[in-house]
Amino acid sequence: MKETKTVAFALSVILFGVSNLNGAFAEGSVDLKKVARGNPLEINRAFDERARSDGAAFEEIDIAIGETIRKNPKAFLEAYRAHQPIIRLDSLVGNLGPDFVDEFKKQEIEVKGRISVLKKVKEPSLQPAAKACIAELERLQKMIQGILKVKH
């Protein structure tokens, strides 16, 4: 009987943790929906949280931050610049999320759009950040174009 209660307790702890993973940011310091919409304050909070995260949380944050590139490129670059050094720039700018998995044409369009808006940011203080992000996105773009050539 004691073993059953221990197993049940352990299972409830695990399930509580898993059920709260998706809501952890909404209730905590970061609202990923606001991040994805380009809210500058939430973008900065997401960069802070990203530095403390790993695994699935890190990936969720990267996807949300990456979405801000097209919606508010200036706020993205300001937060990027303020949070140096950046670990895994490839993931930050290139993790497009589950809607893009195996959708290479869709990936190409999104990456091209991110490059385009970053090139439009003209503030001199943001140019180093923009150039670093553009270089990483252009590397990703070449990989996607290579895949598309093979598929056709």
Other Cβ atoms closer than 10 A to 51? 13
pLDDT digits (tens, 9 = 90+) for 27-54: 457 898 999 888 999 999 999 999 988 8
| C-beta separation of 25 from 33 below 8 A | no
Rounded to whole angstroms, how far apart are CA atoms 46 and 35?
A: 7
pLDDT at 1 over 90: no
The owner of tokens 């252009």 is 138
CA torsion, ordered 96, 101, 102, 105, to nearest 10 deg: -30
Other Cβ atoms closer than 10 A to 135? 13
The owner of tokens 């490839």 is 90
**Token code pair at residue 81:** 């610049």
**What is the 3 state secondary structure string of 54-89?**
CHHHHHHHHHHHHHHHHHCHHHHHHHHHHCCCCCCH
pLDDT digits (tens, 9 = 90+) for 133-147: 999 999 999 999 999
Q: Which of 11-15, 66-70, 139-143 has the lowest mean pLDDT?
A: 11-15
pLDDT at 130 over 90: yes
